[in-house]
Amino acid sequence: MARMKRLLALALFVTVTANAQTTVERLDALFAPFEGEPYLNGGVLVAEKGRIVLQRAFGDADVRAHIANTIDSRFQIASMAKVFTSTAVLQLVEKRRLALDTPVARYLTGFPYPNITVRHLLAHTSGLPDLELFESLAAQDPSRIIRNSDVVPALVAWKQGLAFTPGTKFLYSNTNYMLLALLIERASGMSYARYLERFVFAPAGMRDTYVLTDATPPDARLVKNHILPTMYETTPVDVTTVKLADAVKMRHIHYETETLGHTLGDQNIISTTLDLYRFIEAWKRGALLKKSSMDAATTPARLADGSVNYDEPGPPFATHCSYGLGWEVCADMIGHSGYNRGIATMLYHNVERDQTVVMYDNTDGGELGRKLAAIVNVLNGKPPVEVERRKSLAREYGRTLMAEGAAAALIAHNRMRADPTHYLATTRGMNILGYDLLHNGHTAESLEPFRINVLLNPNDANVYDSYAEALAANGKTADAILMYERSLELDAKNERAKRAIEALRR
């Protein structure tokens, strides 16, 4: 959430451009490919004063099948769904079927926390756990799929209690919005999907938007969510097809995309950039809520002591931001971000300037926040925020290592390192590559990036420690001990290295 909050603050820097055609040209220039790579792999819509200024799509909806993204592509909006859940709840408050300051336990039988209210859920001030709530269920049965019906029983079984007294602090938790989806069903007598279709999507004219459920038929226009599962891969793959020997990484991917991939209220709304713009337009004209409810939703929520949980400002932004009732709020800017494995989304609306930007990237969304900031700056006649578009040296090196061997990879590494204009070299990237190789059965190959890191960073205790681990895995015990000892010379507090040396000497 902090990332989106700072994004929403951006318009404090900008002034409106007078020439719409020039704006389009400048935006198109911003989206120009760099070394053949698109600005983003997804779609973007930019609007101002009720008029679409620009709508574009880039890259692939399905990389493997070579199906391109289009302006009509549908995508999972991830946590942006919270805006829609909030809207539905506030509608039911207006209809007096729910009340903001009524305890949730009044509506949901068995809910174990009598002091948590509907408002606390909307504002993320409940103190409830986030996705860690379901880890024990997944550990008991890795094939289990979590549903909204599991939330209350999981909270009853939760032994760690609340993070704080409800209303006293802010803690973002998807659990809050799963519970709100249950409240919508309880108060309306409809399924969450049916309620949103009838009272939110239809009034807003969102013809291409729906809630994804088990009963949803296949959608040819729905983009695939793609990730780069290891540092030695350069082509994004559909997250649902990933298979790795790395059990830890696979467990996290499975937990986030499959175990927790079917909950409602916090995610699983499918939409288009145009439909999300239609939502903002309907919101503006009061087609969904009364003004008092809109104001409550987009006003920073106050804690029990009267204070507001403001985020710290940071470059390229310069204002405090907070959370309302389902909306991220910065001065006169509102919106929400979303991220699931393989999809990143942004919804930005400047109330004062009447500007809207909607965008998504279905290849994990690298730098998506700064890309949104760059678009908003260009829209307002300012220089775009700089975005890192160089290729990862570690990733390109890893691909070459696996495809052509160590000698070819070393030559490629040195060529790329001499070209910082096009390649980004980091110690961390090479370290991640080494562990990705080590944990996925490429034990011998893992030595190569770790060795390079030691050569390039002779005073970094961590790189010796990592290289030692790979040496030990390759049966090179004496060399591993040497590396661990050097790590300890540089960092005497490295208890892990001490334990490793003892184990290797046995």
Instruction: Just list the catalytic residues.
Output: 79
Largest interatomic CA distance in the chain: 75
Residue whose entry in the numeric block shows the structure tokens 């059990």: 247
* CA nearest neighbour of 3 among 130, 172, 121: 172
β-pair partners for 346: 337, 359
Residues 6+ apart with CB under 8 A from 236: 41, 63, 226, 227, 228, 342, 363, 364
Tally of CB atoms within 10 A around 30: 16
Q: Torsions phi, psi of 5, nearest 5?
A: -60, -45
3 state SS of 178: helix
CA distance 322 to 154: 29
Closest among 56, 64, 480, 382 to 235, alpha carbons compared = 64
List Cβ neighbours of 379 (8 Å cut-off, separation of 6 or more).
14, 17, 23, 27, 46, 48, 53, 355, 357
Phi, psi dihedral angles at 355 (to 5 degrees): -120, 140
Transcribe 83-100 into DSSP letters.
Answer: HHHHHHHHHHHHTTSS-T
Note whether 16 and 380 are within 8 A (CB). Answer: yes
Written as one string, the DSSP assignment of 56-92 is EE-SEEETTTTEEP-TT-BEE-GGGHHHHHHHHHHHH
